[in-house]
Amino acid sequence: MTPSLLIGNWKSNTTFAEAESLIDAAKAAQNATGAEVWVGVTPPFPWLMALRERIQDSNVWIGAQNCSATDMGAYTGEVTASMLKECATFIIVGHSERRAYYGETDEVVREKVARVLEQDLHAVLCVGEVLAQREAGEAEAVVKSQLLAALEGYPEDRLYRLVIAYEPVWAIGTGVAATADDAEEMCAFIRGVLDKRFGDSNHIIIQYGGSANEKNAAELLTKPHVGGLLIGGASLKPEAFAAMIQAAADVAE
Ligand code: 13P
């Protein structure tokens, strides 16, 4: 069975000193698990190169929170996937905060997925509905449309480079996670969409994200279609993140 994949998305948080101690705590927590659990973190851009050195002796992966839709060129302020290849193994693409605050459309998200693949990195593609869409019974249609738009033209021989993170927007940073049953239902739906799109999508891990914490991690991870967690706030608390890694290990055993 594929191990669970837990990713801590630090967003625009941490001083460099805090980042160093968080990464050390993640390394220790990952080392302490008996079962195999895949652990990644996405620090802010300026910390990536230094933290890459700090994870050399561990199995913790470093990723980026975003990348440019273009490759190198006269695009002031943009950070390209080709630059991130020096220090990251995966890149989060299409996070709802990027879509909501920085106007990222499905087309931009698709371009970013393409840039990530060009560099042989892994893409963690985020999808999820807002509350009004869920209440209107449109959650599945929204998620399906985000998925198919972002994965248009996605090469079938690169499925192992793809992770999908189902992050209902109403659950992000609110303290109100989806119930484990709701997360399971949508992750199962996503699996169906991916199977239809690609034939067999077994190589693709599907995560849940949105107020995942040390209290609900075990229940979420017990669900058969929830292959991991994308964790915001709780990943900034070393004990909470460590407890979630341990919960994933316990579920796997
Ligand atoms: P929270 O865990 O803080 O709700 O954030 C989830 C998220 O957006 C991870 O990418």
Domains and CATH numbers, the chain: 4-239 (3.20.20.70)
Is the Cβ atom of 220 under 6 angstroms away from ligand 1?
Answer: no
pLDDT range class, residue 181, cuts 50, 70, 90: very high
Is the pTM here over 0.85, yes or no?
Answer: yes
**30 within 8 A of 60, measured Cβ to Cβ:** yes
pLDDT reported for residue 154: 96
pLDDT reported for residue 34: 74
d(CA 219, CA 29): 20
pLDDT reported for residue 120: 98
Is the Cβ atom of 178 under 6 angstroms away from ligand 1?
Answer: no
pLDDT reported for residue 29: 95
Active-site position among 111, 167, 184, 214: 167
Is the Cβ atom of 23 under 6 angstroms away from ligand 1?
Answer: no
Is the Cβ atom of 172 under 6 angstroms away from ligand 1?
Answer: yes
97 is catalytic: no
How far, rounded to the nearest angstrom, does the alpha carbon of residue 6 sit from its chain's CA centroid?
8
Share of residues in the chain with pLDDT > 70 (%): 100
| pLDDT at 41 exceeding the cut of 80 | yes
d(CA 119, CA 90): 10
pLDDT reported for residue 2: 84
| pLDDT at 35 exceeding the cut of 80 | no
| pLDDT at 6 exceeding the cut of 80 | yes
Measure 121 CA to ligand 1 centroid, in angstroms.
22
**127 within 8 A of 165, measured Cβ to Cβ:** yes
Measure 80 CA to ligand 1 centroid, in angstroms.
23
* Beta strand spans in the chain (E): 5-9, 38-42, 60-64, 90-93, 122-127, 162-166, 205-209, 228-231
Among the atoms of ligand 1, which is closest to the Cα of residue 234? 2
The mean per-residue pLDDT over the stretch 128-153 comes to 98
pLDDT reported for residue 39: 97
Give the pLDDT confidence of 70-118 residue by residue, as tens digits: 999 999 999 999 999 999 999 999 999 999 999 999 999 999 999 999 9
| pLDDT at 10 exceeding the cut of 80 | yes
Is the Cβ atom of 100 under 6 angstroms away from ligand 1?
Answer: no
Give the pLDDT confidence of 183-228 residue by residue, as tens digits: 999 999 999 999 999 999 999 999 999 999 999 999 999 999 999 9
| pLDDT at 1 exceeding the cut of 90 | no
Nearest alpha carbon, ligand 1 atom 5: 232
